[in-house]
């Protein structure tokens, strides 16, 4: 059974990242995420750099036929990109988030809760949705933890 936390407001600090951005149909997303994490992980090993938080995916749209996503890892300091791997950053600013527990395929209500919170608080989103993954697909589906957040104007 899935479960969500209440929506919370917090302050983001600028965070350097290494990412791969791509467009993919929704059914191809799990494979793209796995390959991207492996490529970035291999590059981090080459650099001798570790990650400083959990992996994430940024969703620039919700078009199931052509999802525009950026997949990556937070890193302690800016690192050079290489090939399809880009040096990027998560910008500083206010954001709203909730924690979702359950199968990835049933995460929709977490987004609905955030959108309802925006309307109630009269806040405007300032960019794409982010998902941070606290465990992975090897975990039981009902134990998957995902933090969903969106920067605010």
Instruction: Please list, in sequence order, all residues whose beta carbon lies within 8 angstroms of the beta carbon of residue 18, skipping any fewer than 6 positions away.
Output: 40, 43, 44, 72, 73, 75, 79, 81, 85, 86, 87, 88
**Domains of the chain with CATH codes:** 3-151 (3.20.80.10)
At 136, list the tokens. 């992975």
Look up the pTM and report it: 0.91
d(CA 97, CA 93): 13
Residue 2's pLDDT band, with cuts at 50, 70 and 90, is: low
Residue 1's pLDDT band, with cuts at 50, 70 and 90, is: very low
Which whole number is the average pLDDT over 41-61?
Answer: 96
At 102, list the tokens. 């359950």
Instruction: Please list, in sequence order, all residues whose beta carbon lies within 8 angstroms of the beta carbon of residue 151, skipping any fewer than 6 positions away.
Output: 12, 91, 93, 94, 95, 125, 126, 127
d(CA 24, CA 60): 12
Residue 125's pLDDT band, with cuts at 50, 70 and 90, is: confident
Q: Which residue has the tokens 């749209």?
A: 61
């Amino acid at each position: 059974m899935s479960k969500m936390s209440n929506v919370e407001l917090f302050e983001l600090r600028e965070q350097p990242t290494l990412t791969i951005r791509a467009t993919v149909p929704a059914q191809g997303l799990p494979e793209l995420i796995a390959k991207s994490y492996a490529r970035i992980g291999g590059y981090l090993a080459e650099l001798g750099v570790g990650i400083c938080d959990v992996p994430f995916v940024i969703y620039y749209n919700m078009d199931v036929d052509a999802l525009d996503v950026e997949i990556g890892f937070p890193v302690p300091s800016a690192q050079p990109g290489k090939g399809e791997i880009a040096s990027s950053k998560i910008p500083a600013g206010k954001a709203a988030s909730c924690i979702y527990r359950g199968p990835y395929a049933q995460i929709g209500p977490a987004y609905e809760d955030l959108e309802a919170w925006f309307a109630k608080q009269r806040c405007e989103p300032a960019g794409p949705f982010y998902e941070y993954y606290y465990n992975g697909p090897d975990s039981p589906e009902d134990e998957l933890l995902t933090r969903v957040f969106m920067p605010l104007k």
